[in-house]
Every structure is written in C-alpha cells, then in structure tokens.
Structure 1
Amino acid sequence: MDKFTKLTGIAAPMPLINVDTDMIIPKQFLKTIKRSGLGVNLFDEMRYDDDGNEIPDFVLNKPAYRDAQILVAGDNFGCGSSREHAPWALLDFGIRCVIAPSFADIFYNNCFKNGILPIVLPQEQVDMLMDDAERGANAVVTVDLESQTITGPDGGSISFEVDAFRKHCLMNGLDDIGLTMEKASSIKAFEADAAQARPWV
C-alpha cells in the first residue's frame, strides 16, 4: 500500500450526514475482489442518472472537483454494511483522506488498512473546512500526517488526533500483510526451530 506522509490536493465538500457504504459503492458492484476499477462507480447512484449520464450538480462531477483527493463530509460517514469495497472505491477514484465529525467504526478501520486517512474533527472545524472546500479549484488543502495538521487555502492550521500505531502504518505503507512481512525473519527462525524440535509435524 502507498505511504501517506503529506497530501496537498483539492478538497471536495459533501455536507451529507449518514452517507452509508451502499451510497459510496452500491451492492451491484461488489462482485469483484479486485481493489482497482471501482472508482468509476463511486457514489454511482448520486453521480449518474438512470441512463448512465453524469448528473452535473453532483460535487465530483463538477470540473473543479474531478481530481479531488480530500473529502470533507458530514456526520456518521461510512455507516451501513461493512463492505471493504467502500474504501477501495474511494481510493481508486483518488480520495486519500476523508474528514468528518464521526465515522462508522468498521469503515473507519478499513480506511487505515487501505491507505486512506480518516480524520475526526469537531463539527465547528469541519464546517470551517467545508467552507474552504466550497472554493472549487481554490480549495487546496494540505494534510500533514507527521505533524498531524491540516492547512487550509488561507494558511490557517487545524490539529488532529490519530492513533500512533495507525499513523506508523500509514506513514510506512503497511497493511496487515506488510506488518506480517516485517517479522519475516523471526517467523522463518521460529519455523526452523520448530522443524528441528518436531520433525514429524
């Protein structure tokens, strides 16, 4: 998984509460087990009409936000089913950071495991960033994971909290497999010792 250290990009405003995982990636797109290719169907039912045409008013269809890498969202983002396809779709579209007052627990955990930084902030600070995000192409925000700060277009800075272990994993690009592989030499040594001690196993 790609490392997350500092991200500077367009922030897209999505001031909706209770955005569930079926809204993020509808159930008909869950047949794949690949992490790629889902970005085109991110927020499918809000992005496209019944004929598959883009809905111009949807935020990610607007020219200023087509390359957004940060999403400023409403309360309880990622609620609903536990589908890991939701962070996969966000990541495949290009979203590396989601900022909201709260997240559903499973979605929140899945974000870290897939290289997305979910940031929880008080509503007042989310509202400030939402205002920044409304600037369109000028809505450039910098998220610095090392210093745990968010810098808005005007240079104002907001601090955020993140679990130290999760921060380590994101900054070093370590998913669950990567964490295991960090211990590869210890695992091999254990298996060698076990094979000598119990050759019949």
Structure 2
Amino acid sequence: MEKFTTLTGVAAPMPLVNIDTDMIIPKQFLKTIKRSGLGVNLFDEMRYDENGDEIPDFVLNQPAYRDAQILVAGDNFGCGSSREHAPWALADFGIRCVISTSFADIFFNNCFKNGILPIVLPQSEVDKLMDDASRGANAVLTVDLENQTITGPDGGSIAFDVEPFRKHCLLNGLDDIGLTMQKSGSIDAFETRYAQEAPWL
C-alpha cells in the first residue's frame, strides 16, 4: 500500500449529503476483484449521461478538478452497502483524502486499508474547506498526516484527529497483509518449530 505522509493537491467540493457506495461505484462495476481500473467509473451515474458522454456540470468533469486528489464532502459520506470497491474506485481515480463531518463506519475503515485518509471535522470547518475547494484551480490544500493539519490556499491551518494505530499504518504504507508480514520472522520460526513437533501434519 502506498504511504500517506503529506499530500498537496486540488480539493473538489461535493456538498451532497448521504453519498452512498452505489453512487461512488454503481453495482454493475462490482464484478472485478482487481483494485485497478475502477476510477473511470467513479461516480459513474453523476459523471456520464445515458450515452456515456460526460456531464459538464459534474465537478470531476470540470477542468479544474479532473486531477483532484482530495474530496470535501457532505455529511454521512460512504453510507449504504459495505462494498470495498468504493475506496478502490476513489484511489484508482487519484483521491487520497476525503473530508466530511461523518462517514459510514465500514467505508471509513475500508479507506484506511486502501491508503485513503478520511478526516472528520466539525461542520464549521468543513464549510471553510468547502469554500476553499470552490476556488477551482486555486483549490489546493495540503494535508500533513504527521502533524495532523490541513493548510488552505490562504495559509490558514486546521487540526484534525486520527487514531494513532491507523496513522502509523498510513504513514508506513501498511495494510492488513503488510502488518502481518512485519511478523514474518516469528511466523517462519513457528512453522519450523511446528513442523518438528508435529511432522505427521
């Protein structure tokens, strides 16, 4: 998993509330078990019309936000079904951080396992960042995970909380497999010992 240390990138404003996982990646794209290739269908039903053409008004289709790496979103982001394809699609598009007042629990947990930092802030601070994100090409935020700060285009800074273990995993690029592999020496020693103690298995 890619490490998350400091991210400086364009923030896209998505003030809709209750953006669910089917809006993030519709069900017809869940056939794959690969984490790559889903970015093109991120927010598919909002990005494209029935002919597959881009809807110009949708934020990620606008020139200033096509390479957005941060989303500033409305309340209860990631609600709905527990599909892990939702963070896969966000990450494949290039989104590394989502900021909201609240997230659905399963989506929130899945983000950390896929290298995405979900940040929960009070409504007043989300409103400030939503205003920053509305500046088009000037909507650049810097998210510093080590120092737990978000710096806006005018230099103002907002602090955020993150659970220490999850912070450690993101800073070091550790998903569940990576955490397990940190214990590879102990695992190998156990397997060697167990093979000697129970050779019939």
What TM-score, normalized to structure 2? 0.99
C-alpha separation in 1, matches of 2:165 and 2:75: 25
Question: What is aligned with 1:74?
Answer: 74
Q: Deviations over 1:101-124 (max 9, x none)?
A: 000000000000000000000000
**Equivalent position of 1:167 in the other structure:** 167
> Within the alignment, does 1:97 sit opposite 2:97 as a pair?
yes
Give the SS at the match of 2:98.
Answer: strand
- The aligned runs of 1:11-160 (5 Å cut-off) are 11-160=11-160
Q: CA deviation at 1:194?
A: 1.2
Shift of 1:91: 0.4
**Which deviates more from structure 2 when the two are superposed, residues 38-47 or residues 189-198?**
189-198
Cα separation, 2, equivalents of 1:52 and 1:200? 60
How many Å apart are 1:193 and its aligned residue? 1.1
Residues 118-175 of structure 1, C-alpha deviation per residue, up to 9 Å, x if partnerless?
Answer: 0000000000000000000000100000000000000000000001010011010011
Consecutive unaligned residues in structure 1, runs of 5 or more: none
Q: Give, in whole Å, the separation in 2 of the partners of 1:193 and 1:151.
A: 52
Is the partner of 1:72 in helix, strand or coil?
strand
Q: Distance in 1 between matches of 2:31 and 2:200?
A: 42
TM-fit CA distance, 1:40: 0.4
In structure 2, stretches of 5+ residues that fail to align are: none
- How far apart are the structure 2 equivalents of 1:187 and 1:200? 19
Paired residue type of 2:156: G
Give the deviation of 1:93 after TM superposition.
0.4
Give me the whole-angstrom Cα distance separating, in 2, the residues matched to 1:15 and 1:142. 20
Q: Distance in 1 between matches of 2:197 and 2:42?
A: 53
How far, CA to CA, are the matches of 1:86 and 1:9 in structure 2?
A: 21
- Aligned-residue offset at 1:42: 0.3
Letter of the 2:14 counterpart = M
Q: For residues 41 and 200 of structure 1, what CA distance do their matches in structure 2 show?
A: 51
Give the secondary-structure state (helix, strand or coil) at the position aligned to 2:191: helix
Deviations 1:49-74 (A, max 9, x none): 00011000000000000000000000
Aligned AA (1:182): Q
Give the number of equivalent residue pairs: 201
User: Deviation digits for residues 4-47 of structure 1, max 9, x if unmatched?
Assistant: 00000000000000000000000000000010000000000000
